[in-house]
Structure 1
């Protein structure tokens, strides 16, 4: 009986150790693919404040009546990039000549991090 208890205890401790190691090596939600790089999100927030907030509202908060509420845009990176670069039907000017690809990618990281699903 004592031997079985020792084997069970050793197995239990081994399982706990494996779980502890897995927890410390698993990336956090902010580091997982698709969650966005915090530094890129921060840079996108700066670019947004400088270039986009005058129409889309500070911190992406607006009524959505004149310009879209960007917190509700579809999760479609290609569409977002195209709209930013080329503009949209006279409602939004093109920014492709004013923003670099990196700045637009940073904007996407920021906007997608604040989306309301």
Structure 2
């Protein structure tokens, strides 16, 4: 009985690993898409490395680890300095941006 459970556990782990390899890492796909969206929509103000020294834009690598705040800021803009993007970017694109920015967070 224990041997059967062990064999089934290993088989399941191999199957899950194979499925991940076949479909790719969904989080990495989000990060990659977010990077592309950032380059085309955000880097003009926030800089190519998520910081634009000498301007009023914040270092996005230090943005608080708060997805709700991030989404709200992107959708609605901020203090008349950042325009709202809610009518331009889809919810998926904003989620992908969050995945990208979170992946580059300063420790």
Provide TM-score, normalisation by structure 1.
Answer: 0.68
* 1:49–1:59 CA contact under 8 A, matched in 2: no
Alpha-carbon shift at residue 60 of structure 1 (Å): 1.4
Q: 2:37 aligns with which of 47, 55, 59?
A: 47
Q: 1:97 aligns with which of 87, 92, 95?
A: 87
C-alpha spacing 1:64/1:106, structure 2 compared with 1 (3 Å): farther
Cα distance per residue 1:21-77 (max 9 Å; x no partner): 6xx77x8xxxxxxxx811100000000000000000003132264200100000000
Partner of 2:105: 115
Q: Does 2:46 match 1:56?
A: yes
Question: Which entry has the higher C-alpha Rg, 1 or 2?
Answer: 1
Cα separation, 2, equivalents of 1:71 and 1:115: 4
Partner of 1:33: none
Cα separation, 2, equivalents of 1:55 and 1:80: 16
Q: 2:59 aligns with which of 50, 62, 69?
A: 69
Gaps of 5+ in 2: 1-9, 18-25
Partner of 1:15: none
Cα separation, 2, equivalents of 1:85 and 1:61: 20
Number of equivalenced pairs: 90
